[in-house]
Amino acid sequence: MNSPAVVWRRPLKAGSLTPLVVFLHGRGADEHDLIGIAERLPRAFVYASVRAPVALPEGGYTWFENRGIARPVAASLRASIDGFRAWLDDPGIGCATTPCYLFGFSAGMMMAGALVLDDPRRFAGAVLLSGALALDAAPDASRKRLAGLPVFYGRGSQDEVIPADLVARTEAYLQEQSGADLTAREYRHAHTISNREIDDIADWFAART
């Protein structure tokens, strides 16, 4: 993942301290999947959508090899964490000292969650949507690990993709153990991102400009 495919959206005036939001797409998608959401989010941010490193036989990409739905192989997840951090902190990319938010959907949520658990001080916050935390494969999911970190967690009540037991464990950790500054929302939709959810996320980001 030294030079992944990335789609950028930058404001007309962006400096070294302009916050960055990195989109992490779901399984089977690519770097073009989520970038359109940037048009509905605050213009005071730089947005980047990154292609995951693992190519799938059926097409598209994902962040890690699975041993079951939403159950990553730990070594594969670790390799993606290390590769993503190497890209993010490459001086040539210009993000090494930039306030950085992660925006992950489905498998991308699992990747975003693993990144913030691995190094919560590196990130300014995270949007975690329609997925689960890799609590069995994550680097460190200890109590208060995300203390004070702004986190927006959203899911659809009709989502039948992510196993219910993993969702329950994720919610329990975020709400009761993580210590995150948590905003949690449930929507009446399936495994997707709704317009209402995007509006709520836009408000969440606007509060951080």
Whether residue 28 has pLDDT greater than 90: yes
The CATH number given to whatever domain includes residue 37 is 3.40.50.1820
Q: Are 204 and 174 in contact (CB under 8 A)?
A: no
**Residue 174 structural domain:** 6-206
Q: What is the pLDDT of residues 162-189, one digit of tens each?
A: 999 999 999 999 999 999 999 999 999 9
Q: Are 144 and 178 in contact (CB under 8 A)?
A: yes
Q: Which two tokens stand for residue 44?
A: 């005071």
Q: Are 134 and 113 in contact (CB under 8 A)?
A: yes
Confidence of residue 47 (pLDDT cuts 50, 70, 90): very high
143 within some domain: yes
99 within some domain: yes
pLDDT on residue 2? 53
Confidence of residue 97 (pLDDT cuts 50, 70, 90): confident
Strands 20-24, 46-50: pairing is parallel
Average pLDDT across the chain, whole number: 94
User: How many Å apart are CA 6 and CA 38, to the nearest integer?
Assistant: 14
pLDDT on residue 98? 84
Q: Are 67 and 73 in contact (CB under 8 A)?
A: yes
Number of domains in the chain: 1
1 within some domain: no
User: How many Å apart are CA 56 and CA 175, to the nearest integer?
Assistant: 33
120 within some domain: yes
Residue 33 CA, distance from chain mean position: 13
Whether residue 145 has pLDDT greater than 90: yes
User: How many Å apart are CA 153 and CA 29, to the nearest integer?
Assistant: 21
Q: What's the number of CA atoms in the CB half-sphere (13 Å) around residue 11?
A: 15
- % of the chain exceeding 90 in pLDDT: 85
Confidence of residue 24 (pLDDT cuts 50, 70, 90): very high
3-state secondary structure of 158: coil
Confidence of residue 17 (pLDDT cuts 50, 70, 90): confident
3-state secondary structure of 8: strand
Question: Count of CB atoms within 10 A of residue 189's CB?
Answer: 18
In order of 38, 48, 120, 199, the CA distances from 32 in angstroms are 11, 10, 27, 20
Whether residue 73 has pLDDT greater than 60: yes
Whether residue 38 has pLDDT greater than 90: yes
Q: Which long-range contacts (CB under 8 A, 24 or more apart) does 204-207 make?
A: 204/127, 204/150, 204/152, 205/21, 205/41, 205/42, 205/45, 205/101, 206/42
166 within some domain: yes
pLDDT on residue 109? 98
112 within some domain: yes
